[in-house]
Structure formats: C-alpha cells, structure tokens
C-alpha cells in the first residue's frame, strides 16, 4: 500500500461561508473519500467550517506533519480561493497535494498558478481517479487529471463518467460533526440535515443550466441508482431532514414510487425534500406516495412567469402549464419552494418585478430568485454575446448597459422584500406546523431566532443606507 493515511479537507471556514453553504455536507468530497478507503490504510475527513481540534492552523499543520502522507482538498465553491490557496501553500513540503471539485475543474490553470503546492488537480468526478492516484499509477496514465511535470502543467484526457450504481454511497462515519438547518446564520438546534444523491445528471436541456455539464463541457447523462441501494443508504442516516439532491427526483416516476414504497415498508420516519420539475403534477399516484413516505418540501425550478423567457431558457412548459400544475400540487400537503431567474436577456425591470406577484398567484410558499449566470459552456453564451449591450464577467455574471450588476442586485432585493412580507412569514410558519414539517418546539426555536435575524438585517440595512427602502417594500409595496 503506497499511502498509510490520507487526509480529505473541505477548506472553507465558518467565517467565509453563508448559512446555505454551512447547511450542506461536502457530498462530492465524501464520495471520493469513501472510494479511497480501499486503497489507503486510513482516511481522515475534515470540514473546516466546523470547530475541531484542528481549527487552529498551527494544530492542523502539526497534525499533517506527524500523521499524513497525502492530502486531498475539495474546492467546489467559487469564493475564498485566495485564502484557500494561502492555507494550502503553508502545508508541509514533500506531502502530495491533490485538489478536486467543481471549481477546481473550472480553474485548473489559475489554481496551479496561485497554489504552488498543488501537485495534481482532478477534473470532473473523482471516485475512480483517486483510486489510481492512491495506488501509485504513473500520472501520465491517469485519465481526468492535470499535473505538474518538469515545470509545466500537463492535461490528460478526460475520464468517462461512470454509472452511479457502481459507486459506493458516502461513509458518514468519516464525519466528525453533524449538519444542521439554519435560519440565515442562526442554527436551529435539533434539526439535523443530510443529503442523498439517488441519481446524477438530467435528461432535460434547459439552456441556463450547466449543472448537468461539468466544467469540461461533458454532459452528465442521467444515471440512476437502484431503489434498494437508496433505501439502504437512507436507513443508515441519523439526520431528521433529508434532501434528495438529484437534479430531478421524479425523472422516472415509477422508480421514484419504488423508493417511496421502500421508505414506507421499512417504516423510515424522516422528513424529506426533493428537487423536481412541475411535470410531477402529471403523476398523482407518485405525489400521494411521497406524502405518505414523509416528503414535506418540493423544490421547483419555475424560472419565469413570462412565456418568451421560458422559451428562451428551453424549459419545455409555459406559464399556463405552471398555473395548471399548481392547481394539482396544492391538493397535496407539501411545502412548495419556487426558484426563479431574473436579469434574463431582454428582460425589463417591470417584467422582473412581476415575479413575486406571479408566485403569490400560483400559490408558491417561498421563493429563491437568482440572477442569470452564463457559465463557460452555457448554451446561452452565444445569445448573450451576440445581443448588443450585454456583457459577461470572468465569473459568469451577466449584466447589460441598461442594468448594471449593482442595478440587478437592487432589483433582486425588491423582488425578495415584495414577496417576504410579515404575513408571508406567518403563512410559512402556519403551514409548516399544519403539515408537520416542523413540530411546535421547532417552530418556537425558529420564532426565537427571527429577532436575531431581523436585528442583523436591520444593522446591515442601516450600514448600507437602505433601511427606509427595505421597510417600504416590506410593509407598503405590492399589496395586490
């Protein structure tokens, strides 16, 4: 065995992450660490977002010097890269440093430039690649990596994407901490959280979406796990809330029903959430079983209330279909969270500000609104580049001569505060209690956290001179 002790690190720190980032376990890193177990004497998984004996940098460096003979780091978020490289460059010399993750794949050249300690960057999915690295295969024979050789960077051919059923699910015993639900930055005690990936890829081709493309432009074809393996994984999870983080849990309705049947038959008592398309409204038998199995939240990519934008994004449905789908969905006691995109090519401020009104009309319980991004391999890149007045930053942010990046941020705040009124929060809490997503104790913990959240928000608004505008949008605007 070439290596005795491999360290897998999620390098983001608590101070550098949003509550959403702290919510999610580093699933990709956990998959790779689990795959590595058969090739190395010992695996240690460390998430720097959480306090541990290695929270102090000096203690971490000492541990590495004493115990570790290969380091693997997951860089999946496009933030704090400078600070992460600063930390990695302090790691002891002579210990191989392997970096992987979505952002690492996207920024191979930049990372090799800024992180002088990096020896290998794994591009794309790394479960099979890490095995070859740990077994000591010559770098020039390993597909899917870039590496240093004689002062230059060598890029090997891409690795074919594996069938997901051939991959072991994450070994959660490697964790040294639990993951909790947050209300903004306030942790809600007792509400533990985890994710399950029952499939990878998506058969649909929405033009804004690059989640089914890795940063190399490889299309991740839909690959689903056996329902029994999914139920087996869920049975071993201690968290009270589990998110199916598939791109679309209901791609195959019959398979989704099988998973629900297994959850029901095994009497697994969890609260589940899942990402789905509105097409799920066509399958009432699946919706009925999801309710019975404990599904409490559906996350739906609605994207826009405007037919021409839905066509531009190639969503495959129109606004009338959205309305008719929600007539069906509201018959089932689940919480419906809608995702919308604003700042689309050709979209006016008035059209963007229709989003909260449309969301109320169709009966969405909560929303998230994101600015349109144009990633490297986005099918929308050509349209954006050929449309006069539109510009794309290096990080993929889209803005125009009519609406600057700052203008779009202000519009995003208007959308958010137009939807999230005090009455909306009361409806959210009431429905959460009624459908038993939260029990009375958990509702009280949320309510106790609300003053702290509001206090932090008010302080931020005062500091940025926008308190009056925020209060106006919350209490006066959009009462229709």
Other CB atoms within 10 Å distance of the CB of residue 201: 19
Kindly tell me if the per-residue pLDDT of 217 is higher than 80.
Answer: no
pLDDT of residue 195: 95
HEC sequence for the chain: CCCCEEEEEECCCHHHCCHHHHHCCCHHHHHHHHHHHHHCCEEEEEECCCCCCCCCHHHHHHHHHHHCCEEEEECCCCCCHHHHHHHHCCCCCCCCEEEECHHHHHCHHHHHHHCCCCCEEECCCCHHHHHHHHCCCCHHHCCCEEEEECCEEEECCCCCCCCHHHCCCCCHHHCCCCCEEEECCEEEEEEEEEEECCEECCCCCCCCCCCCECCCCCECCCEECCHHHHHHHHHCCCCCEEEECCCCCCCCHHHHHHHHHHHHHCCCCCEEEEEECHHHHHCHHHHHHHHHHCEEEEEEEEECCCHHHHHHCCCCCCHHHHHHHHHHHCCCCCEEEEEEEECCCCCCHHHHCCHHHHHHHHCCCEEEEEECECCCCCCCHHHHHHCCCEEECCCCEEEECCCCHHHHHHHHHHHHHHHCCHHHHHHHHHHHHHCCCCCHHHHHHHHHHHHHHHHHHHHHHHHCCCHHHHHHHHHCCCCC
- More confident call, 304 vs 205: 304
Which whole-number Å values give the CA distances from 155 to 120, 243, 365, in the listed order? 10, 35, 47
Cα 430 from Cα 436, distance rounded (Å) = 10
Please check whether the domain covering 5-164 is classified as CATH 3.40.50.2300: yes
pLDDT of residue 274: 96
Q: Nearest CA to 260 among 276, 249, 248, 245?
A: 249
pLDDT of residue 69: 95
Options 3.80.30.20, 3.40.50.150, 3.40.50.300, 3.30.1340.30; which CATH number does 178-475 get? 3.80.30.20
Kindly tell me if the per-residue pLDDT of 285 is higher than 80.
Answer: yes
Cα 106 from Cα 95, distance rounded (Å) = 24
The mean-pLDDT minimum among 13-22, 174-183, 232-241, 369-378 falls in: 13-22
Q: What are 372-422's pLDDT values in tens digits?
A: 988 777 778 888 999 999 999 887 899 999 999 999 999 999 999 999 988
pLDDT of residue 477: 52
At a CB cut-off of 8 Å and minimum separation 6, what does 406 contact? none
pLDDT of residue 422: 85
229, 256 contact by CB (below 8 A): no
Q: Output the six-digit token pair for 100.
A: 């992987």
pLDDT of residue 436: 80
Q: What are 294-352's pLDDT values in tens digits?
A: 999 999 999 999 999 999 999 999 999 999 999 999 999 999 999 999 999 999 999 99
Average pLDDT, the chain: 87
Q: What are 16-69's pLDDT values in tens digits?
A: 445 556 678 999 999 999 999 999 999 999 999 887 777 789 999 999 999 999
Cα 158 from Cα 155, distance rounded (Å) = 9
- More confident call, 108 vs 444: 108
Residue spans per domain, the chain: 5-164, 178-475
Cα 177 from Cα 194, distance rounded (Å) = 12
pLDDT of residue 184: 55
Residue 181 pLDDT level (bands cut at 50, 70, 90): confident
């Amino acid at each position: 065995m070439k290596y005795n002790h491999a360290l897998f690190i999620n390098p983001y720190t608590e101070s550098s992450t949003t509550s959403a980032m702290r919510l999610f376990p580093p699933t990709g890193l956990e998959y790779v660490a689990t795959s590595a177990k058969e090739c190395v004497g010992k695996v240690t998984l460390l998430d720097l977002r959480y306090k541990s004996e290695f929270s102090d940098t000096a203690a971490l460096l000492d541990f590495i010097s004493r115990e570790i003979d290969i380091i693997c780091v997951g860089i999946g978020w496009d933030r704090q890269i400078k600070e992460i490289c600063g930390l990695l460059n302090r790691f002891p010399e002579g210990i191989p440093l392997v970096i992987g993750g979505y952002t690492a794949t996207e920024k191979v050249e930049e990372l090799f430039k800024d992180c002088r300690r990096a020896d290998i960057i794994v591009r794309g999915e790394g479960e099979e690649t890490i095995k070859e690295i740990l077994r000591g295969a010559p770098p020039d024979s390993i597909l899917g990596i870039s590496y240093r050789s004689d002062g230059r960077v060598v890029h090997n051919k891409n690795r074919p994407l594996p069938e997901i059923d051939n991959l072991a699910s994450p070994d959660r015993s490697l964790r040294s901490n639990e993951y909790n639900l947050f209300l903004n930055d306030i942790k809600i005690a007792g509400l533990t959280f985890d994710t399950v990936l029952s499939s990878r890829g998506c058969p649909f081709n929405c033009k804004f979406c690059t989640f089914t493309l890795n940063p190399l432009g490889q299309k991740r074809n839909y690959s689903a796990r056996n329902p029994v393996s999914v139920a087996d994984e869920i049975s071993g999870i201690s968290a009270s809330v589990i998110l199916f983080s598939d791109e679309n849990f209901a791609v195959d309705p019959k398979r989704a029903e099988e998973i629900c049947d297994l959850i029901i038959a095994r009497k697994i008592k969890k609260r589940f959430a899942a990402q789905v398309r509105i097409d799920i409204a066509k399958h009432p038998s699946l919706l009925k079983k999801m309710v019975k199995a404990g599904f409490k939240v559906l996350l739906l990519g609605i994207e826009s209330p405007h037919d021409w934008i839905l066509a531009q994004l190639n969503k495959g449905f129109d606004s009338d279909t959205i309305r008719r789908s929600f007539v069906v969905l509201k018959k089932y006691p689940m919480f419906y969270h809608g995702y919308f995109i604003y700042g689309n090519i050709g979209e006016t401020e008035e059209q963007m500000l229709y989003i909260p009104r449309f969301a109320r009309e169709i009966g969405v319980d909560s929303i998230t609104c994101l600015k349109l991004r144009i990633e490297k391999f986005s099918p929308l890149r050509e349209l954006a580049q050929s449309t006069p007045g539109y510009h794309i930053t290096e990080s993929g942010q889209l803005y125009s001569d009519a609406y600057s990046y700052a203008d779009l941020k202000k519009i995003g705040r208007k959308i958010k505060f137009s939807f999230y009124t005090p009455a909306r929060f009361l409806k959210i809490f009431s429905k959460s209690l009624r459908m038993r997503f939260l029990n009375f104790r958990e509702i009280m913990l949320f309510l106790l956290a609300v003053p702290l959240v509001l206090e932090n928000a008010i302080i931020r608004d005062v500091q940025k001179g926008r308190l009056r505008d925020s209060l106006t949008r919350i209490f006066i605007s959009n009462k229709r």
